[in-house]
Amino acid sequence: MGAVIPLTDASRRPEHFPIVTVCIIVANFAVVARELAGGDAFVLKWAAIPAHITSGHDWGTVLTALFLHGSWSHILGNMVFLWAFGPEMEDAMHRGRYLVFYLVGGLVAMVAQVAISPSSTVPNLGASGAIAAVMGAFLVTYPRDRIRSLLFLFVFVRVTFIPAVLLIGVWFVMQLVNVGSVAAVQTGGVAYVAHVSGTLFGILTGRLFEDRGRVLE
C-alpha cells in the first residue's frame, strides 16, 4: 500500500505570515474540542443533514459543518493538506479575499454534497471541500511548484518532491473516479462530491480572488 502526504511548498515561501490559515486551523481544532464535550447531540445540531436542508430547515449548517470533523485522523489529515497549500494562496490573494474564498469554496462544496443525496439523513461535515478549493486555486496558480511530501510505500517512508500539477492532478482524478461509486450511498464516508466541487470552484475562480501583484511565478 502507498500514500502521499503533502507537507509544504518547497519552491517558495509566503512573504507574509499566514494568519488566516493559522486561525482556520485553530478554529477547527477548537470546534473538535467542543465536539468531544458535546457528543453526538452537538454534531447532529451543527452538521449538514441533507434531508433537513432540502426540507427548508437548518440552512446555516452548510457553513457550521465546515468546522466539524468525524475523528482526530479526519481533522489532522485535513489540516495537514491546508497547511501544505494554504499559506501560499493566502499570500497570493491577501487575507480578506482568501478568507472569503475559503468559506465560499467550502459552501459550494457542501451544497453540492447535499444536492447529490437530498434525502439523506447522514450528517455531512468537514473542511475538505474548502481545502479542495484552495488546492484547485494552487493548481492553476503554481502548477510547477515542487511540494515536499512524505511518501509511504509499504513499510518504507521517505521525503520526496512532487510537482503540484502531478500531486493535485492525481488526487483530483482519484476523487472524480470515486464519485460514481459513492453517490447513492447513504452510510457516510468520504465526501468525494464535495472534493470534486471544491476543486473545480478553486480552478475556475481562484485567479479572480488573487492580487496579481502578489503572485510570483
> Which residue from 51, 15, 5 is spatially nearest to 150, judged by alpha carbons?
5
E strands, the chain, where? Answer: 2-9, 146-153, 156-163
Least confident of 99-103, 128-132, 151-155: 151-155
What are the pLDDT digits (tens) for 151-208?
A: 998 878 999 999 999 999 999 999 998 875 544 444 455 688 999 999 999 999 999 9
Looking at residue 154, what is its pLDDT? 80
In the chain, the domains with their CATH numbers are: 2-211 (1.20.1540.10)
Dihedral sign for Cα atoms in the order 31, 89, 129, 64:
positive
Looking at residue 78, what is its pLDDT? 95
Average pLDDT over residues 61-79: 94
Residue 216 has pLDDT above 90, yes or no: no
**Rounded to whole angstroms, how far apart are CA atoms 193 and 180?**
9
Looking at residue 212, what is its pLDDT? 78
Looking at residue 180, what is its pLDDT? 58
Q: Which element (helix H / strand E) includes 56?
A: none
DSSP 123: P
Average pLDDT over residues 31-53: 94
pTM for the model? 0.92
Residue 64 has pLDDT above 80, yes or no: yes
Looking at residue 25, what is its pLDDT? 98
Which triple of cell numbers denotes residue 35? 465536539
Average pLDDT over residues 126-137: 97
- 27 versus 192: the higher-pLDDT residue is 27
Looking at residue 1, what is its pLDDT? 59
Mean pLDDT, all residues of the chain: 91
